[in-house]
């Protein structure tokens, strides 16, 4: 038996998610299957990676994480199976693996998909059997080529200079809080104890890091590090994205997960450091 998580872009309006769970349980009805989300954007890979990576790190060792993202962008001949930080990630070979892991995992195998498996449930059926095989053997990665070519895409990084950090908005949540692509560790390393200004708009600046939303008065803007460890801009009892016109990723400017040349498709927030 295993803990298996599901993250996908298929939604929950039809039978697909239930059918995938049935395939997994048919292999072993003792599996513990957990839904992360079924509303990943199939074009916003940085956001998908943020959601998956932030959730996966809380699971026990040897958890299997199945990521179904943009399966229909091109014919699939194989999926990837990786072991990263003692957990397994099974996903398409479209760059999402390295975005979730932040690097190429040392153990990666290609899981062949037969030509007749040309629909989603046929492919997830192969995944279900592969998980059963992995649970029965300890040498799944020993016969694979550690240098096999896979699609590698770096996570969205902030632009860091000595006096400034230029961040992009990774995610706008249901409360319209804006999550930036910088972690507490990156911020502290660059800050070095210096005063700072987070420029939210021409007329709105933040100069302190709060410990929670109610650290400021209702209606005031704040910055804090959320439970995923990323810098978040918010308003106590308000909607920061709407108020300041903050925008997340423009999906119509990205094709099949590949970054376009237009540099304005992410809304940026700048942080300035004093001396």
153 in a structural domain: no
Instruction: Mark whether 10 and 131 lie in a shared domain.
Output: yes
CATH number at residue 128: 3.40.50.10790
- Residue 267's domain spans which residues? 159-273
141 in a structural domain: no
CATH number at residue 219: 2.40.30.90
* Closest by Cα among 146, 75, 54 to 109: 146
pLDDT of the residue at 249: 67
34 in a structural domain: yes
Instruction: Mark whether 9 and 132 lie in a shared domain.
Output: yes
* Closest by Cα among 240, 236, 262 to 249: 262
Distance CA 168, CA 190 (A): 17
Instruction: Mark whether 105 and 205 lie in a shared domain.
Output: no
Last residue of a domain, one of 76, 103, 136: 136
Last residue of a domain, one of 104, 136, 168: 136
43 in a structural domain: yes
143 in a structural domain: no
CA dihedral of 90, 179, 275, 195, whole degrees rounded to 10? -130
151 in a structural domain: no
Please state, in angstroms and as integers, the Cα–Cα distance from residue 90 to each residue in 52, 60, 97, 131, 177, following that order. 12, 16, 8, 9, 30
Instruction: Mark whether 169 and 239 lie in a shared domain.
Output: yes
Q: Identify any residues that bridge with 159 across adjacent strands, giving them in sequence order.
A: 166
Instruction: Mark whether 124 and 176 lie in a shared domain.
Output: no
Instruction: Mark whether 58 and 173 lie in a shared domain.
Output: no
Q: Identify any residues that bridge with 37 across adjacent strands, giving them in sequence order.
A: 7
* Tens place of pLDDT per residue across the chain (275 aa): 999 999 999 999 999 999 999 999 999 999 999 999 999 998 899 999 999 999 999 999 999 999 999 987 778 999 999 999 999 999 999 999 999 999 999 999 999 999 988 899 999 999 999 999 999 987 788 767 777 899 999 888 899 998 999 999 999 999 999 999 999 999 999 999 999 999 998 889 999 999 999 999 999 999 999 999 999 999 999 999 999 888 876 554 444 344 443 444 668 899 999 87
pLDDT of the residue at 147: 78
Instruction: Mark whether 164 and 238 lie in a shared domain.
Output: yes
pTM, two decimals, is: 0.88
Which residue carries 């799944």 as its tokens? 140
Kind of pairing, strands 230-235 and 178-183?
antiparallel
Count: domains in the chain: 2
CB of 75 within 8 A of CB of 119? no
């Amino acid at each position: 038996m295993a803990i298996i998580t599901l993250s996908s872009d298929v939604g929950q309006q039809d039978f697909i998610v239930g059918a995938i769970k049935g395939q997994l349980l048919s292999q072993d009805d003792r599996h513990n299957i957990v839904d992360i989300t079924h509303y990943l954007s199939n074009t916003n890979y940085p956001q998908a990676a943020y959601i998956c990576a932030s959730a996966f790190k809380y699971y026990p060792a040897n958890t299997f994480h199945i990521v179904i993202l943009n399966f229909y962008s091109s014919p699939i001949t194989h999926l990837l199976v990786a072991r990263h930080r003692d957990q397994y990630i099974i996903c398409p070979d479209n760059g999402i693996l390295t975005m979730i892991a932040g690097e190429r995992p040392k153990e990666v195998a290609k899981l062949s998909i037969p030509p007749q498996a040309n629909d989603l449930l046929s492919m997830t059926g192969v995944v279900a059997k592969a998980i059963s095989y992995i649970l029965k053997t300890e040498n799944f990665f020993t016969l694979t080529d550690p240098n096999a070519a896979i699609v590698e895409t770096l996570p969205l990084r902030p632009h860091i200079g000595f006096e400034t950090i230029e961040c992009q908005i990774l995610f706008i949540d249901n409360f319209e809080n804006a999550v930036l692509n910088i972690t507490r560790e990156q911020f502290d390393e660059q800050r070095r104890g210096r005063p700072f200004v987070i420029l939210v708009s021409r007329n709105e600046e933040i100069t302190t890091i709060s410990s929670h939303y109610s650290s400021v008065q209702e209606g005031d803007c704040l910055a804090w590090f959320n439970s995923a460890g990323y810098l978040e801009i918010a308003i106590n009892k308000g909607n920061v994205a709407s108020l300041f016109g903050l925008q997340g990723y423009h999906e119509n400017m990205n094709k099949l997960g590949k970054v376009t040349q237009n540099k304005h498709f992410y809304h940026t927030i700048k942080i300035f450091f004093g001396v």
